Structure 1
């Protein structure tokens, strides 16, 4: 059984592999003329063309090669004579790892609106749009951590659930396991948070600032980078209920 080769590895350095038998696995982006498969395995935005011989591959297998079906293909890597790709895989065998019935599968090989993809969150990263967004987010997050690490900062994980409002940084989302339709009450008629999970009012964090300040007074230079929340209703593109925020704190700091 041959070891899987990532498609990114093939596309970036294909010359030493031409003529070799390779195994690739991925999701079908397109299947043309019952012969040409555009295969993507997530390691890059690009696809590898897999060429199948419809006389050699069983008909029941060919029928299952549909949009976003997951397959395994083994064959020889050759230089491509067609336009649009340098190499292609001449498949000797194709195995269906996960079928995607086109009658039931919600995604289609066409442009999908962001509103539609919002309701299909478990599939949306298979689209080029969301694939690109999450690759960019990965690159930005890596750059953030590398910058602060290279400049002597320590990364702090601050609480997401907190009893602090961080100097009133914004409206907060309440966290509770009380029955909100019938909460326990004190003799004064107030909600009895002693019966709650944390035995006091708690919320989703709006900032890790206060914990970072404590960290800076022990470690010198720290930063937080994580999710924060605002319970302020707004339908603008510049206001989110959840976002990631960077907060550095430094002891003995000056501007010189």
Structure 2
């Protein structure tokens, strides 16, 4: 007999059919009503047990968290809250759960408590919904780029270069920590290490992706990246996933077009394919908002924010124009911003980005042409000599979600910028080669996947949108 999923049965109209179903017990009431879930949907299916004709020992073993197999007849439900149910004819315990020890009982748990039980938190409605949305978004990413003619490129995870130039990288080494080999200067001799040089976990696959774009035309990476940044915020992780398309012959305008079309597409896919999960997450967020002071509540609910992105054209604004707006706005003049904007060249914070999106323009915003001294070395220098062809996409509630640029394709300018930042040219010889042999205008951007999942699900902490979060002082599970 075919084994069905809960999702299949809840959409079925074939009553009186014999069905088999496996799942985990969410609740068991009155020795009769089992709420069963198998992960295929946020909804449970009710299984009605004939307790008078069921072994008492079986009934005692049906507890929250237990894995069971039921056989029975699919019938129309007469009770409230469900349209169908299973009249159980046979039940088998596949895996017991001790109710005195099982931490995920059917009650409200704090997100902090669930992080401490990350191996079991997926069994809650909140995290099962978040992870199904995450899966749908990941599929939508690959679907979009495949349909647009991109090639999926796997960037190396171990690297000898620092793409961001920030130096906040995790070292990769097989040397004995208790007995490091030293060179004549008394420093660690990395030539004795596994790769014969200093290597790290990657912070970005961009530089390598650029080299492939200059032969395949359009490529994208979607893989893990790492930052050894001691940030304990709701927006930072030490291990996260990055989506990075790179396109040959695209300028900054093309890059902005791509980023807008891409984001709208993947969010729209989720709106169409994750309706039950998004409805649950929206209701969860509404309940959470009620506990906040009125002045801290969001102006939009979850679905409104998602549709706000999908249905609005992104406003394109230069950094210079944005600074003028921010310098003269009421929050800045009345010193309501935590970081006041006084002069051109300031590095914008989330509060500034959100003001532009939510209060001033009231639509998603793409800022471009940033000061060169606050952006990375690989961004193309403008003719004014002080700004670069950079772009950031800003969203409501989250601020920056995408960062990208037209890349510096001129060898002489790129070498000069590398020298000014004291980056060893020898470490990037292969990257510079692409500017020697058939150089061309090209552009790309990076999107932190967890930021996208966080925005789409409405979760307040980025640690709750990745299965096992890695952050300072935590690498559990």
Bin for the TM-score computed over the shorter chain: over 0.9
**Equivalent residue, structure 1, for 2:7:** 8
TM-score of the pair, normalised by structure 1: 0.94
Aligned residue in 2 for 1:62: 59
1:194 aligns with 2:191: yes
For residues 50-89 of structure 1, the aligned pairs below 5 Å read: 50-89=47-86
Q: May I ask how many residue pairs the two structures share in their alignment?
A: 253
The DSSP-based 3-state class of the residue aligned with 1:50 is strand
Q: Tell me which protein shows more helix as a share of its residues.
A: 2
Gap runs ≥5 in structure 2: 255-477
Q: Distance in 2 between matches of 1:207 and 1:169?
A: 12
Q: Distance in 2 between matches of 1:10 and 1:108?
A: 25
Partners of 1:169 and 1:137 lie apart in 2 by 29
Runs of 4+ aligned residues of structure 1 deviating over 4 Å after TM superposition are none
Q: Distance in 1 between matches of 2:103 and 2:10?
A: 30
**Worse-matched range after superposition: 22-31 or 193-202:** 193-202
SS in 2 for 1:194: helix
Q: Deviations over 1:86-129 (max 9, x none)?
A: 11111111100010011222221111111111121211111111
**Pairwise mapping of residues 220-239 of structure 1 onto structure 2 (< 5 A)?**
220-239=217-236
Residue 213 of structure 2 aligns to a residue whose secondary structure is helix
- SS of the residue aligned with 1:55? helix
Task: Show the counterpart of 2:21.
Answer: 24
Matched, 1:104 2:135: no
Give 1:137 shift.
Answer: 0.9
Whole-Å separation in 2 of the counterparts to 1:210 and 1:179: 31
Cα drift, residue 82 of structure 1: 0.5
1:170 deviation in Å? Answer: 5.0
Which one of the candidate residues 114, 117, 130 is aligned to 1:117?
Answer: 114
SS state at 2:52 partner? coil
**Bigger shift: residues 66-75 or 225-234:** 225-234
Offset from partner CA, 1:163-221 (integer Å, 9 cap, x none): 11115155111122222233222233211223322222111111101110111011011
Q: TM-score, normalised by structure 2?
A: 0.51
Give the structure with the larger strand fraction.
1
- Separation in 1 of the partners of 2:174 and 2:121? 32
1:7/1:40 contact within 8 Å kept: yes
Contact map agreement 1:170 1:230 (CA 8 A) in 2 = no
Match of 2:249 in 1: 252
**2: distance between equivalents of 1:32 and 1:20?**
25
Matching residue of 1:154: 151
Distance in structure 1 (CA, Å) of the matches to 2:231 and 2:250: 36
Q: 1:242 aligns with which of 226, 229, 239?
A: 239
Residue 134, structure 1, aligned to residue 131, structure 2:
yes
The whole-number CA distance in structure 1 between the counterparts of 2:104 and 2:236 is 29
Using the alignment, how far apart are the partners of 1:251 and 1:60 within structure 2?
A: 67
Alignment of 1:181 onto 2:178: yes
* Kept after mapping to 1: 8 A contact 2:104/2:124: no
Aligned residues: CA RMSD: 1.5
Which of structures 1 and 2 has the larger relative contact order (alpha carbons within 8 angstroms, sep 6+)? Answer: 2
- Where in structure 1 are there 5+ consecutive unaligned residues? none
